[in-house]
Structure 1
Amino acid sequence: MPANTDRYESAVARYFEAWNAREPEARAKAVAAAWAVGGGYTDPLADVVGHDGIAAVIAAAQEQFPGFVFRLTAGVEGHHDTARFSWELVSEAGGTPSGGGSAPVAGSDVITLAGDGRIRSVYGFLDRLPAGA
């Protein structure tokens, strides 16, 4: 069991804040809080480095799935500078991220952390994706 699980959980909480930030300025601020300078994001549909690229990927996902939010579906596990967690994209129910309805997209991510606790890299795996996405 890792000695400091708060480090991983805090990083993942900031990650979801960034993915769920709707306004461009709030999203840019959340991305900067979550990712280290020069940090990256890679999944089967994207491979970007830097805050601007990450914010653009998040904005594109929000455009593709308006009214949906990302939420954690399983506990965060970590050791050393690496953590993993699972998530899903759910329809907002009454404006709350507790979600409701179906989850058209779900996956698991592995992150590595920089010394300051911000994300250095994300490697995303998509477990469920709608056809044509």
Structure 2
Amino acid sequence: MMEDVVRQYLATWNATGDERATLLSAHWSPDVTYTDPMAEVSGHEGISSIVDGVQAQFPGSVFTRVGEADAHHRQVRFRWGLGPEGAEPLVIGFDVLVLDESGRIQDVRGFLDKVPA
């Protein structure tokens, strides 16, 4: 189950338009909160705006998982990379997702491990 959560989370960051809206509706709580060193947003609109910003800043880049995920109870942590497909990631981060009772993403805490100069 947690593997699917991570897969849908990263798919949301890579998606645009209707595909992203569908992923948000299906896998993210309407009350989701998201906090990382660069942003603090809530709700589907807030998530979508931060994704738009990252996609604009890193055009043509994709999010991929780096290493294994670790999960217990309703939370999962994992590392991700952002960069050109198949290339060394330009950005590497570490996220913790907490799910609501229905298994949707309720809270995201993000950390940045590697950022371009």
Query: TM-score scaled to structure 2, two decimals?
Result: 0.94
Q: 2:30 aligns with which of 37, 40, 50?
A: 37
CA contact (8 A) 2:58 2:83 kept: no
Pair 1:107-2:93 in alignment = yes
- Which one has a bigger Cα radius of gyration? 1
Identity among equivalent positions (%) equals 42
User: Over residues 84-119 of structure 1, what are the superposed CA-to-partner deviations in whole Å (9 max), with x where a residue is unaligned?
Assistant: 00000120xxxxxxx222311111001101111110
Partner of 2:53 in structure 1? 60
Amino acid at match of 1:38: D
Unaligned stretches of 5+ residues in structure 2: none
**Structure 2 letter corresponding to 1:130:** P
SS state at 2:103 partner: coil
Q: Are the aligned partners of 1:18 and 1:27 in contact in 2 as well (CA < 8 Å)? A: yes
CA RMSD of aligned residues (A): 1.1
Partner of 1:46: 39
Aligned to 2:20: 27
Report the counterpart of residue 69 of structure 2 in structure 1. 76
Local SS of the residue matching 1:75: strand
- Aligned length in residues: 117
In 1, distance between residues paired with 2:25 and 2:83? 24
What secondary structure does 2:102 align onto? coil
Using the size of structure 1 for normalisation, the TM-score is: 0.83
AA aligned opposite 1:37: P
